[in-house]
C-alpha cells in the first residue's frame, strides 16, 4: 500500500520538479493529484510516463489524502494549507509562511531529521529557503566536527528562484538585447537581469539587509544551531537554474582543509569535486537536474585562526525546494506513517 499524494502548484517551477522527483525516486504513490489555480484548470503536467490534468485548488477536498506538497506563494498557502492540515493531510510547505513558527518543524533531512515528529503540532512541516538548504547540508557535518562560530556567505542565485516569471524575464530580456526593436522592462526583478547582477533578493529590512539575507541567518539557526552567527549578501545573477555560494566558515576548533574535504566526501547529499586545476570545480550549469549539493574550492582561510573557504553549488529547484520536500515526505513515511 502506498500514499495518496497531492502536489499543490503543479504547473510552477517547483511543482513540476516535485512531480519529476516523486517519479524518479519511485516514491510509493497509490494516487496523485496535481493542483493549481483556476487559471490553469485542465493544464497537463507529467508524472513519470503518465500525464496528469490539473485540478482547481479552490474546490479540492483534502480529506483522505496522506500528504500535500505545497509550492504556491505564501498568500495561497495561508488560505489553503490550514484546510488541508485540518482535513488530516500532512502539509509539506515550500513557502516562507510557516518557517519561523516555533511550533512548525523546518527540516533538511540531512541535518535535523529528528524534528519530523513535531509535525504533529499543526500537521504542517516547512521546507527552507533554497539558498539556506544547500548551505546547511555542507555546514552540518563540519559543525559536528569543529563547531562553527560564524559564517560569511555571498550568494549567486539563479532566476528560477523567482518562479517561472523570473525565467521568462531573463529569456525575453536577453532576446530583446539582440533584437533591439523590442524592449523588456524589469518587472519581476528590480533592474535589468540580462547581462547584469542585482544585489537585492526580496524586500529590504530595517537594518539594510534584505529578507533573503535575513532568511539565511534565521533558518540556519533553526536547522543547525542557534549559536551560529551568519552574515549574508544575496545576489541575483543571469543564470537559469542553480544557485552558487561562496562560503567562509570560522570554527571554534582548528579544522584542516584535507580533513574538511574528507568529512564532506562522506556527508550525505554532498558531492565533492575539488581539483586545484583549471575547471576542477562545479559551476551551476553542471548541477541543474542533479540531486547533490556540490562542494568545490575547499581551502584554508589563513586570515583567521580556524577558517575554511568553500564553493557550494546546487540545483535550487531540487535541493533548494522540490527534492528537499520529497525527502521530507520520505522521512515522514519512513518514521511516522509507515505505508508503502
Instruction: Choose, from 111, 143, 234, 243, the residue flagged as catalytic.
Output: 243
- Name the catalytic one among 130, 234, 287, 312: 130
Catalytic site includes residue 130: yes
How many whole angstroms from its chain centre is CA 80? 21
d(CA 177, CA 274): 36
Nearer to ligand NAP, 15 or 269 (CB): 15
Residue 210 C-beta: closest distance to ligand NAP, Å: 14
CA distance 289 to 236: 20
The residue within the footprint of ligand NAP, chosen from 40, 174, 196, 306 (CB under 6 A), is 40
Answer yes or no whether residue 284 interacts with ligand NAP by CB under 6 A.
Answer: no
Does 82 participate in binding ligand NAP (rule CB under 6 A)? no
Q: Is the dihedral of CA 249, 252, 258, 262 positive or negative?
A: negative
In the residue annotation, 89 being an active-site residue is answered as no
Binding status of residue 293 toward ligand NAP by CB under 6 A = no
- In the complex, residue closest to ligand NAP by CB: 12
- Which long-range contacts does 161-170 make (Cβ < 8 Å, 24+ apart)? 161/130, 161/131, 161/201, 161/236, 161/243, 161/316, 161/320, 162/188, 162/189, 162/236, 163/12, 163/13, 163/188, 164/12, 164/13, 166/193, 167/13, 167/240, 169/193, 170/194, 170/238, 170/240
157 forms bridges with which residues in the sheet?
236
Q: Which is nearer to ligand NAP, 37 or 209 (CB)?
A: 37
Closest to ligand NAP by CB, 168 vs 262, is 168
Q: Does 20 bind ligand NAP (CB under 6 A)?
A: no
Catalytic site residues? Answer: 130, 243
* Binding-site ranges for ligand NAP (CB under 6 A): 9-15, 36-37, 39-40, 57, 71-73, 76, 94-95, 129-130, 160-161, 163-165, 316-317, 320-321
Amino acid at each position: 500500500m502506498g500514499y495518496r499524494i497531492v502536489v499543490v502548484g503543479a504547473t510552477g517551477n517547483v511543482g513540476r520538479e516535485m512531480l519529476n522527483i516523486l517519479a524518479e525516486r519511485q516514491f510509493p504513490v497509490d494516487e496523485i493529484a496535481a493542483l493549481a489555480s483556476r487559471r490553469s484548470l485542465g493544464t497537463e503536467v507529467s508524472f513519470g510516463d503518465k500525464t496528469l490534468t490539473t485540478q482547481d485548488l479552490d474546490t479540492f477536498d483534502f480529506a483522505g489524502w496522506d500528504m500535500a506538497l505545497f509550492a504556491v506563494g505564501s498568500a495561497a498557502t495561508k488560505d489553503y494549507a490550514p484546510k488541508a492540515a485540518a482535513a488530516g493531510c500532512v502539509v509539506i510547505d515550500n513557502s516562507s509562511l510557516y518557517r519561523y513558527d516555533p511550533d512548525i518543524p523546518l527540516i533538511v533531512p540531512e541535518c535535523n531529521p529528528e524534528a519530523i515528529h513535531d509535525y504533529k503540532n499543526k500537521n504542517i512541516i516547512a521546507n527552507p529557503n533554497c539558498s539556506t538548504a544547500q548551505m546547511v547540508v555542507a555546514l552540518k557535518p563540519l559543525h559536528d566536527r569543529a563547531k562553527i562560530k560564524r559564517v560569511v556567505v555571498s550568494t549567486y542565485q539563479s532566476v528560477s528562484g523567482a518562479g517561472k516569471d523570473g525565467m521568462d524575464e531573463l529569456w525575453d530580456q536577453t532576446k530583446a538585447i539582440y533584437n533591439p526593436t523590442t524592449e523588456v522592462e524589469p518587472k519581476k526583478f528590480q533592474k535589468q537581469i540580462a547581462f547584469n547582477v542585482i544585489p537585492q533578493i526580496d524586500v529590504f529590512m530595517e537594518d539594510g539587509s534584505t529578507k533573503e539575507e535575513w532568511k539565511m541567518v534565521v533558518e540556519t539557526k533553526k536547522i543547525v544551531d542557534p549559536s551560529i552567527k551568519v552574515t549574508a549578501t544575496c545576489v541575483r545573477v543571469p543564470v537559469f537554474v542553480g544557485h552558487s555560494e561562496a562560503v567562509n566558515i570560522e570554527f571554534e576548533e582548528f579544522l584542516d582543509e584535507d580533513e574538511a574535504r574528507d568529512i564532506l566526501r562522506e556527508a550525505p547529499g554532498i558531492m565533492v569535486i575539488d581539483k586545484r586545476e583549471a575547471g576542477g570545480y562545479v559551476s551551476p550549469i553542471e548541477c541543474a537536474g542533479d540531486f547533490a549539493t556540490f562542494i568545490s574550492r575547499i581551502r584554508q582561510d589563513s586570515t583567521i585562526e580556524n577558517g575554511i573557504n568553500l564553493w557550494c553549488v546546487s540545483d535550487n529547484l531540487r535541493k533548494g525546494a522540490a527534492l528537499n520536500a520529497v525527502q521530507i515526505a520520505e522521512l515522514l513515511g519512513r518514521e511516522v506513517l509507515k505505508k508503502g
